[in-house]
Structure 1
Amino acid sequence: MSPPDLSKAWLRRALTQPDFSKHLAPLANGDRPTVLDHADEASHSFFAALAATAATDLGRKRHWLVCDSPRQRERLATELEIWGITALVLPDSPVNPDSEIHEIHDPETAAEWFSILEILAASDAFTLLCGPDSFSQYAPSAKSLLSNRTHLTPGQKLDPANFAATLTAHGYERVPTVTARGHFAIRGGILDLFPFQSPRPLRMEFFDTELESIREFDINTQSSTRKLLAADLLLAEPPAIATIADYRRENDILISINPRHENLFPDADIIITENASATEGEEDFTLAAYPSPLGTFDAGDFVLDELRRETFFRQLNEWQREGWDIGIVFATKGERDRFAELSGKDLERDLGLSPVFGDLVSSFTIPTTKLAVLSSSELFGRYRTLGTVRRSTIEKARAMRARASLDDIEPGDLVVHYEYGIGKFRGIVLDDDGEELQIEYKDGTILSVPLEQAHLIGKYVGIGGRTPDLNKLGNATWKTNRKSAEKSILDYAAQLLRIQAEREHESGHAHPQDSRWMFEFEQSFHYTETPDQRRAIDETKLDLEAPRPMDRLICGDVGFGKTEVAIRAAFKAITGGKQVALLCPTTVLAEQHWRTFRERFSDYPIRVDLLNRFRSPSEVRATIAGLNDGSVDMVIGTHRLISGDVTYKDLGLAIVDEEQRFGVAHKEKFKHLFRQIDVLTLSATPIPRTLYMALMGARDMSTIDTPPPNRIPVATTVTAYDERVIRDAIRREMKRGGQVFFLHNRVKTIAQVHKKLQELVPEARILIGHGQMEKDDLELVMHTFVKGEADVLLATTIIETGIDIPNANTILIDRADRFGLADLYQLRGRVGRAGEKAYAILLLPRDMMTVGDARKRIHAIKQYTALGSGFKIAMRDLEIRGAGNLLGTRQSGHIAQIGFDLYCQLLRQSVDRLKGKQNPSQQDTTFKADFIISTETLWTATEKSKPRLPAFLPTSFLVDAKLRISAYRELAEANTEKSLDLLEKSWIDRHGRLPHPVVNLLLIARIKAIAAANAVTSVELSEQRLMLQRNAQYILLEGKRFPRLTKTKPAEKLTEALDLLQKF
């Protein structure tokens, strides 16, 4: 019997048991609520599935499951899947007309909320998990929700202009490029649209007034991903004139799980509770469910403690003799295989165990039905919140928003022109020759740059926020700075390559290829790796298997999965017979890593020890002795690991977490100690992709840009400082068993704030932490908070980096107006790490929020709304900081002088040059033809009787000037025929059919790319001659003549020139 069939069979067996069938009989007529009491929390998903199955058998297929905490709802949703039930989880409502707080709602959460409302309105069968307060949430009426839908299918008649007007009338915003919900864009025959309730944006292609196709597209690449046969749109967000309670129908089943009071829902059909029923008389334990008598295991106990293992198997034999059904829930196939290996027996034949796959937090037994369901997580000592495992129905929409584009230039921004330096962008103007970009230099001088040369200009991005001086046109300062930077960058690239070459020739240890244990270990990972994470793991493992010492850097944002890369590397090294050391900058981080690594290695005989100041002297001595004799496989700690008294029997891998936070002396010591062994460095600050691409050939590094799929965006609130808001936020978090960060960045007044918080929430345990405390005292505070022994940490920005407390899911930031967006982004990243709903509350001075000071209020709201719309600016700022950390002070100075974009370009060229790579660019080749008209203005004025050919991007093709700038840059960067093929395909996908001027422009780009690949620096078509130059010399055929063109029509001449070049 397959695992899903097994779990359903257990449900059926329980339903046919007389005691259960008697208790559930009232469901048929709804006479009175059925109470299933003495049900241990571990069994709640089983009893909920039992009740839902019984109701479905009676034709009642709409089930509302009500439970108190979001954590409980997420856990139940995950565990119900074991019993074959896919449950919806209703998120908090994005609609609250009574609120005075400006809340920035995650668009994906709002979309999920609306899609669930549609199911509640239209479906005859569902299982929904919600909170007790959900029924009073404001919502659109079911009727208005369904009447606002529009059904689209390819082939239908639909006027795009009329449809665009309808979208505008329903609150959609027309933009050049769709980047968020509620946006639409029109380009030629393409209409892009991101519906309010859809997980992905749609691309509709028209031929006149016929809808030809509907495709989904990727918000980051703007490329189509798949075709759709139809699409349903919620045209508008209907007004909230009803509540969730109005969606309930008469025959719906309401199941209340572990309510605080049994009379909380007097109309509940079923109540599932851990407590005794409130009915009079003797307590009835007939249907009771109990925790497993086997108890819980600490990480590693099941593997290392033989006595406990014997007790476990003895209990299994006893149950088997008494005819019990024994199921064991494994998270993965790898976990099941490892358990079978440890037991040395066949699970079903010898042990009577039925393996089922899923996620179950705790084991339980139900004596009445002789059923024991065991949890592998409990068995192997993995204690996690299952909310972190459940996947949102629309999580794929939460891919990282596009980084700030260097084409996203606004008037007033600083820009860098390759030849003339730093200036101020003034805008795009139209003159007699066509569109031009205007840049203002020192003394008010204006430089006009044709739009088709936009690739020579980039947005200026420096380091540290200092505004540079504008350059002076005609002055030598810019060229001197650029030459100085070019030389320094070349030296820097040479240094990187020299270090890399030295390591290539050093002999290191080649770790063995992946073993069966490695395969099982990877299979036991509870999540699906992101593509970036998988790539980083594979690159690291290849380095470990190479006979040279590894030196790989893993860069990625907080919580993007760098630790898992380190875990895989450590496991590979240890199972290959080597020891591993993990260095952390703080004792708190070391302890967190120690817990994580122990739990991940708990299925295997691997000893992981911790060295920090919180260990007793005897524990420290035992660890040092174990490292020396080899009985300790891995040690985690601070710089204590590199003290003189710590020696290793056979150290094979050193992992350094957040290297930038160690001092220079420690870094030098690392280099000396780890010279002959493999080193993996983790950096919590992301770096820009452009820098990654530039360094790729000179430094072994991997970047993880994609967030894990279970990251639920943080609900961000902007509000005036209000003690009620603060009190309610702290109590809300404490009520669900969580912890709170309160950020107040002035040490001078932090004690006063502590006193005020204690008055507001007297029951809260509040700690203070700031950078002016003694180091030992601060670490003790952090240690206490990490262990969950306090409710609130009142701190300065010391919490900004290097701390991971999954149980802290609310952060209040006092005087948020004093922080930049990047700082707020990192601070907000402290919460929402465990897949739970998290809250960030930005407290602003009241005078910024009052109606009487509307301008300030609007400015504040606009500024912080950026936090809810992709963090482009914040991410850009953070990445540049990461670049500064990685490159060092001197190179950061050059970035400040010439701008980040040009720095990366020069660095990449230097690396390629030193490695002997020739990367010819079509920009190295000039093109001229006496029949080509390269601007729209000149083409309009051209006498059409003459044989002329247009080659430009028409405004009718790309209406928005920024899109044309971006397209010209894309064209300039496409240096090969292959890249031009991809660009042409992308343009057709994003903009529709290409008009003739664009086709001709691409043809010229192909001619230039082929010429550049053949070292031809100049191509000129004059009358019937094809004039080519290489090294300032014309290329002539026999008889010292130019190649001749036989065609007379302009378009045919271009094609013939291309054919001739391809024969070179």
Structure 2
Amino acid sequence: DAFEYELTSDQDRSITEIKGDMESERPMDRLLCGDVGYGKTEVAIRAAFKAVLEGKQVAVLAPTTILVGQHLETFQRRFAGFPVEIRMLSRFVGPNEAKETLKQLAEGRVDIVIGTHRLLGSDVVFRDLGLIILDEEQRFGVAQKEKLKQLRTEVDVVAMSATPIPRTLNMAMSGLRDISLIETPPRDRQAVETSVREFSEEVVREAVLYEIERGGQIYFVHNRVKSIGAVAQWLGMVVPEARVVVGHGQMTEKLLEKAMRTFLDGEADVLLATAIIENGLDIPNANTLLVNRADRFGLDQLYQLRGRVGRSNRLAYATFLVPAGQALSGTARARLAAIQEFCELGAGFRIAARDLEIRGAGNLLGSEQHGFIEAFGFETYCQLLEEAVAELEGRPATTRRDVELRLGLDLQLPDAYISEPELRLSFYKRLAATEDEETVAQLIDEIVDRYGPAPVQLKTLARAQRIRVAAQRIGVTAVQRRSGRWRLRLDPAVVPPERLGEVLSSWPEAQLSPSGEITVPAGRPGFEIQEILKLLGEMAA
């Protein structure tokens, strides 16, 4: 009865389905799919309440510290008046408080714990875990979700998402997972007016001033921490009337909390932030969204970002900005077309379905593989199958070249930074799978947000991956640093870059052997990585 809104019919049905799962002998594995702002959290709160009444503990896992803090406030408000102990675990919790929370969790004195990946630590022990609530399911990897389920063999799991990843959606649509859909919008909710426009001062100034004039606030998303300060200065010149506050995952706890509180209290007109805001922020007065370089975001990210506005009965606007006069990739065009096409209320499920079409279904077998395939993994099996089919059809197989790196650098993360071996390996795998510098930067920002300031080894790893990505782009199969020189080996099956001769002639002491090996001086001590990245960049230009 403490819920301030009337339940929609879809919420009521979803609650009934989840309660039925919790009362059955088979552990629940249900996907709760509903548009942003449609009340998934309320459904999850009621499931948590049922678990606590039955003497079980509840773990709520969220991808960002901001969302964890917001969930903590929501759960504490909803459970006020009940003897339910709710705690938080994230990198923003002090060591003494975290230690006390872990102790009480193991003793069963904490009923609900809300946290980031910190909940996956080996030191987190539950006395009687009964329910796991996974918010923003699309932000977690398979290994992380399986790690959660390993906490208890008999544990109920509810995964919430507006846009589930293709693998999860395909499993749900195939009947391998149960799914509950919330498609009924809250009363008086309006669809967000969505547009894709070329970046210009006029577009930004017009959008910001319009929202300020009607008493609202604006999100401006720029997903590069390195240049966000310059964008803040630029905004100050373009729209001097606006009060701008900056927020991103690499800020300290106090600064980030201060920035968010300033915006929440209405003391700033524009929140300039990275994609850290995509999950969970609920500020009804913010009804204009501007996303810079929208072509670099995934479809689920674009949708989640758009969900930050339109959370009241006021008409909201989302403008996705792309570089003026620059051709976009086919995938980027497909994503932007989809976000424009599905702009009505309740479009999240169809957005996810379109993402399934664009990206494919993923590996349904997951980590539990059996038979002969288990010897080398399902993805390798699919790659071998693709190569065999391509050979039979007489066409070249689209395989990704591997690049051998011997940089003489420490590329191993400290155990203390990501303490769980499974999570470290998951990060290494995700980093190795990145295919452009933007994706590398986004992944590093995400890791820093989850685990704290980047150690030297993390920065070195990022630079090494940038070298690998640049080398793959131009057909270099090996990059080695030996005896004060960089050595690059060209793939004989790939046509060399057009500007190769011109670039090498401008580099002192550069040599190209008949076997296709390029050697250049390593550069000044401390700047060797910058030198090789510069060379690879010039070769690709």
TM-score w.r.t. the length of structure 2 is 0.55
Cα deviation digits, residues 752-808 of structure 1 (max 9, x gap): 322111222365132153xxxxx5438766544443445433345554456555443
2:48 is paired with a residue whose SS is: helix
Distance 1:563 1:768, change over 3 A: closer
1:777 is paired with a residue whose SS is: coil
What does residue 593 of structure 1 align with? 71
Please give the residue correspondences for 1:619-1018 in structure 2 after superposition, counting only pairs within 5 Å: 619-663=97-141, 665-686=143-164, 691=170, 694-696=173-175, 698-716=176-194, 721-723=199-201, 725-734=203-212, 738-744=216-222, 750-759=228-237, 760-761=239-240, 764-767=243-246, 769=248, 776-777=250-251, 783-789=257-263, 791-797=269-275, 799-801=277-279, 804-814=282-292, 824-843=302-321, 866=341, 874=351, 876-880=353-357, 884=361, 887=364
Matched, 1:580 2:49: no
1:571 is paired with a residue whose SS is: helix
* Equivalent residues of 1:536, 1:703 under 8 A apart: yes
Matching residue within 11, 29, 32 for 1:554? 32
Structure 2 CA distance, aligned partners of 1:700 and 1:597? 25
Aligned residue identity for 2:118 = R
Aligned residue identity for 1:761 = P
Task: Give the CA deviation at 1:633.
Answer: 2.0
Structure 2 CA distance, aligned partners of 1:776 and 1:725? 29
Task: Give the CA deviation at 1:880.
Answer: 4.2
Residue identity (%): 46
1:595 is paired with a residue whose SS is: helix
* Equivalent residues of 1:754, 1:768 under 8 A apart: no
The number of residue pairs the alignment matches comes to: 357
Task: Give the CA deviation at 1:542.
Answer: 1.0
Name the stretch that deviates more: 823-832 or 583-592: 823-832
Aligned residue identity for 2:113 = V
* Equivalent residues of 1:740, 1:791 under 8 A apart: yes
Structure 2 CA distance, aligned partners of 1:618 and 1:574? 26
What does residue 14 of structure 2 align with? 536
Matching residue within 21, 27, 47 for 1:569? 47
* Equivalent residues of 1:587, 1:779 under 8 A apart: no
Matched, 1:526 2:5: yes
Structure 1 CA distance, aligned partners of 2:359 and 2:41? 18
1:573 is paired with a residue whose SS is: helix
Higher relative contact order (CA 8 A, sep 6+): 2
* Equivalent residues of 1:685, 1:879 under 8 A apart: no
Cα deviation digits, residues 431-473 of structure 1 (max 9, x gap): xxxxxxxxxxxxxxxxxxxxxxxxxxxxxxxxxxxxxxxxxxx
Task: Give the CA deviation at 1:704.
Answer: 3.1
Distance 1:725 1:884, change over 3 A: same
Task: Give the CA deviation at 1:710.
Answer: 4.0
Please give the residue correspondences for 1:69-468 in structure 2 after superposition, counting only pairs within 5 Å: 334=1
Aligned residue identity for 1:666 = Q
Cα deviation digits, residues 108-131 of structure 1 (max 9, x gap): xxxxxxxxxxxxxxxxxxxxxxxx
Structure 2 CA distance, aligned partners of 1:637 and 1:557? 23
Distance 1:768 1:552, change over 3 A: closer
What does residue 217 of structure 1 align with? none
Cα deviation digits, residues 166-216 of structure 1 (max 9, x gap): xxxxxxxxxxxxxxxxxxxxxxxxxxxxxxxxxxxxxxxxxxxxxxxxxxx
Structure 2 CA distance, aligned partners of 1:821 and 1:544? 33
Structure 2 CA distance, aligned partners of 1:878 and 1:608? 36
What does residue 1034 of structure 1 align with? none
Structure 2 CA distance, aligned partners of 1:810 and 1:655? 30
Structure 2 CA distance, aligned partners of 1:598 and 1:578? 18
Distance 1:893 1:765, change over 3 A: farther
Cα deviation digits, residues 360-415 of structure 1 (max 9, x gap): xxxxxxxxxxxxxxxxxxxxxxxxxxxxxxxxxxxxxxxxxxxxxxxxxxxxxxxx
* Equivalent residues of 1:742, 1:793 under 8 A apart: yes
Structure 2 CA distance, aligned partners of 1:642 and 1:875? 27
Distance 1:778 1:618, change over 3 A: closer
Name the stretch that deviates more: 796-805 or 706-715: 796-805
Aligned residue identity for 2:154 = Q
What does residue 1030 of structure 1 align with? none
Aligned residue identity for 2:151 = L
Cα deviation digits, residues 318-346 of structure 1 (max 9, x gap): xxxxxxxxxxxxxxxx45xxxxxxxxxxx
Structure 2 CA distance, aligned partners of 1:610 and 1:710? 34
Structure 2 CA distance, aligned partners of 1:750 and 1:734? 22
Structure 2 CA distance, aligned partners of 1:656 and 1:778? 25
Task: Give the CA deviation at 1:705.
Answer: 3.9
Aligned residue identity for 1:527 = E
Structure 2 CA distance, aligned partners of 1:690 and 1:722? 37
* Equivalent residues of 2:191, 2:344 under 8 A apart: no
What does residue 1053 of structure 1 align with? none
Structure 1 CA distance, aligned partners of 2:337 and 2:138? 34
Task: Give the CA deviation at 1:811.
Answer: 0.8
Aligned residue identity for 2:240 = V
Structure 2 CA distance, aligned partners of 1:679 and 1:821? 25
Structure 2 CA distance, aligned partners of 1:634 and 1:731? 43
Distance 1:821 1:656, change over 3 A: closer
Task: Give the CA deviation at 1:560.
Answer: 3.1
Cα deviation digits, residues 705-763 of structure 1 (max 9, x gap): 44444432123456665545534543554566654221345667544322111222365
Distance 1:834 1:614, change over 3 A: farther
* Equivalent residues of 1:733, 1:810 under 8 A apart: yes
What does residue 1052 of structure 1 align with? none
Distance 1:574 1:874, change over 3 A: closer
Please give the residue correspondences for 1:1030-1045 in structure 2 after superposition, counting only pairs within 5 Å: none
Task: Give the CA deviation at 1:827.
Answer: 3.3
Distance 1:806 1:668, change over 3 A: same
Aligned residue identity for 1:535 = R
Task: Give the CA deviation at 1:646.
Answer: 3.4
What does residue 211 of structure 1 align with? none
CA-atom RMSD, angstroms?
Answer: 4.2
Aligned residue identity for 1:580 = V
Distance 1:600 1:660, change over 3 A: same
Task: Give the CA deviation at 1:862.
Answer: 9.7
Distance 1:558 1:893, change over 3 A: farther
Structure 1 CA distance, aligned partners of 2:137 and 2:169? 22
Query: Is there any run of 5+ residues in structure 2 with no aligned partner, and where?
Result: 327-335, 367-377, 387-541
1:574 is paired with a residue whose SS is: helix
Structure 1 CA distance, aligned partners of 2:67 and 2:50? 23
Task: Give the CA deviation at 1:571.
Answer: 0.5
Distance 1:701 1:891, change over 3 A: farther
Cα deviation digits, residues 286-308 of structure 1 (max 9, x gap): xxxxxxxxxxxxxxxxxxxxxxx
* Equivalent residues of 1:687, 1:883 under 8 A apart: no
* Equivalent residues of 1:554, 1:680 under 8 A apart: yes
* Equivalent residues of 2:246, 2:271 under 8 A apart: yes
Distance 1:875 1:643, change over 3 A: closer
Structure 2 CA distance, aligned partners of 1:821 and 1:547? 37
Task: Give the CA deviation at 1:570.
Answer: 0.3
Structure 2 CA distance, aligned partners of 1:620 and 1:747? 28
Distance 1:881 1:846, change over 3 A: closer
Distance 1:628 1:734, change over 3 A: farther
* Equivalent residues of 1:552, 1:700 under 8 A apart: yes
Aligned residue identity for 2:354 = D
